[in-house]
Every structure is written in structure tokens, then in C-alpha cells.
């Protein structure tokens, strides 16, 4: 037996495993930090009378609706994530991370209304359910030997489908369609979690390994991807199981 060759191979394997763990841990730490910021700003803004009075105003019919500022806050995360996606390769890692933190704060402001619509207990319960599902699917995506690549296009088309259905339901206001969207959404974002974790793992092997700059850039982009998977999973589960306030 060639012990020199064996030792070199073993050392390379240990180095690879350590690098992969560090890379994935970086992604999940960034994601967890963003979720903490989102939760904090959602809670603080929901409990600020000044902020809520700026978010909502009385409409012509005498009801309460979003103010112009409220609409800007609700729509701004969409434009920020589009900008981030198109400009990621031209941004420095520091700028990309700053935009990522800013995006998580904007999401917190836009999600403040859930504290007005649902009880705090049901929000906390749904968060822990979401975390459990997300954690389980992340482990599956990381450890499975099954190639999930073929599911990517199917899951992506499913997300497009529920986005279109949600826009349609904004006019129809159908409780049945809303329930169907939420059920399908839970299934889609559960599957996307496993798919995205495996994709990020593969990106380390084929792109980020041995290049800290590239690994950091992919980690920021990957953290945003998993963050969105978690947020959407949480919202869909909240629609299904959340207890609305009287």
C-alpha cells in the first residue's frame, strides 16, 4: 500500500470537509442574522403608533388602507431583490452584504402587519413549525445522494404559478383559492429548501472551493435564497394555521 498517497488523500478529504462545513455555516449564519433583523424590525414597527399611522391612512370610502409610504415599503423589497440579483456580480462583497442587511430590514417593516392580523402566540408557533420543517429539509438537501436538479424547473414554475394566482386572488378575494395557494406554497417552498441547499453545496464543489472571494459572494447570494425560502414558507404556514385577532 502506498501510505504517502493514502495520507495525502486523507488530508485532502479532511480539508475539503472542513472547507465545506465552514462555507455552509457561513450561509446559515448570514441567513439567521437576516431573519433576526427582520423579526426585530417587524415587531418594533408593529408596536410603533407613529410608524403604523404612516403606513396606513383612511381612504375615500372611510376604510383603512395603505398610505403612499405604506405602498413604497411593501413594494421596496421586490425592487431591492431584483437589483441585488442583477448587480451581484458587479458589487463588492461588502456592498452586497450591506444590501442584504438592508433588504432584511425592509422585509421586517413590510411584514409588520402580521402582528396586527395574527396573535403573537400563533406567530411564534408558526415560526417554530417553519424552523423545524426548514431544518429537516436543509439536512435532507445536504445529505441526500439523490440529484434534485431535475426538480428545479418544476419548483420554479410552481412559484410563478402561485404568484400569478395570488395576483388574481387580490381581485377575487376567494378564501378557497387563498387556501389552495397556501397549501401549494408550503409544498413548493419545502421542496425548494432541499433543492437550494443541495445546489449551494454543489456550488462549493464546482465554483467556491479554494477561492475565498467567490465563496463569500456565493454565501451572501445563497443566504438570500434560503432566507426567501424560509420567509415564504413561514407566510404560507401562517395563512393556514395562524390565529387571527378579533
Flag whether 146 is in a domain.
Answer: yes
pLDDT at 2 over 60: no
Flag whether 24 is in a domain.
Answer: yes
Going by pLDDT thresholds of 50, 70 and 90, the confidence category of residue 11 is low
Other residues' Cβ atoms within 10 Å of the Cβ of residue 139: 12
Flag whether 246 is in a domain.
Answer: no
Going by pLDDT thresholds of 50, 70 and 90, the confidence category of residue 4 is low
38 neighbors 105 (Cβ within 8 angstroms):
yes
Flag whether 154 is in a domain.
Answer: yes
Domain with 177, as residue range(s), is 3-241
206 neighbors 154 (Cβ within 8 angstroms):
no
Q: pLDDT digits over 50-79, tens only?
A: 999 888 886 656 567 788 888 899 889 989
Query: DSSP code of 59?
Result: -
For the chain, how many structural domains are there in total? 1
Flag whether 121 is in a domain.
Answer: yes
pLDDT mean over 32-40: 96
Phi, psi of 61 (to 5 degrees): -85, 0
pLDDT at 3 over 80: no
Flag whether 173 is in a domain.
Answer: yes
Q: What pLDDT sits at residue 224?
A: 95
Measured CA distances, 122 to 234, 240, 242 (Å): 11, 11, 5
Going by pLDDT thresholds of 50, 70 and 90, the confidence category of residue 210 is low
pTM over 0.85: yes
H-type helices in 88-174, by residue range? Answer: 93-110, 114-117, 120-143, 151-172
pLDDT at 222 over 70: yes
Flag whether 227 is in a domain.
Answer: yes
Q: pLDDT digits over 155-171, tens only?
A: 989 999 998 998 888 78
89 contacts: CB under 8 Å, gap ≥ 6: 217
Amino acid at each position: 500500500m502506498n501510505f504517502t498517497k493514502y495520507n495525502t488523500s486523507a488530508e485532502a478529504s479532511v480539508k475539503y470537509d472542513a472547507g465545506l462545513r465552514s462555507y455552509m455555516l457561513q450561509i446559515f449564519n448570514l441567513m439567521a442574522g437576516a431573519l433576526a433583523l427582520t423579526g426585530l424590525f417587524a415587531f418594533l414597527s408593529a408596536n410603533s403608533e407613529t410608524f403604523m399611522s404612516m403606513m396606513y391612512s383612511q381612504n375615500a370610502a372611510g376604510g383603512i388602507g395603505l398610505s403612499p409610504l405604506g405602498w413604497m415599503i411593501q413594494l421596496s423589497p421586490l425592487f431591492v431583490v431584483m437589483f441585488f440579483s442583477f448587480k451581484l456580480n458587479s458589487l463588492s462583497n461588502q456592498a452586497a452584504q450591506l444590501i442584504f442587511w438592508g433588504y432584511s430590514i425592509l422585509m421586517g417593516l413590510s411584514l409588520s402587519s402580521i402582528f396586527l392580523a395574527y396573535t403573537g402566540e400563533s406567530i411564534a408557533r408558526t415560526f417554530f413549525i417553519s424552523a423545524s420543517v426548514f431544518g429537516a429539509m436543509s439536512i435532507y438537501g445536504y445529505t441526500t445522494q439523490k440529484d434534485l436538479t431535475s426538480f428545479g424547473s418544476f419548483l420554479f414554475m410552481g412559484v410563478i404559478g402561485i404568484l400569478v394566482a395570488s395576483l388574481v386572488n387580490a381581485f377575487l378575494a376567494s378564501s378557497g383559492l387563498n387556501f389552495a395557494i397556501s397549501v401549494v406554497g408550503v409544498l413548493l417552498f419545502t421542496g425548494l429548501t432541499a433543492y437550494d441547499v443541495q445546489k449551494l453545496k454543489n456550488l462549493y464543489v464546482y465554483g467556491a472551493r479554494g477561492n475565498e472571494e467567490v465563496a463569500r459572494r456565493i454565501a451572501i447570494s445563497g443566504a438570500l435564497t434560503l432566507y426567501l425560502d424560509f420567509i415564504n414558507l413561514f407566510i404560507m404556514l401562517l395563512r393556514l394555521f395562524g390565529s387571527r385577532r378579533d
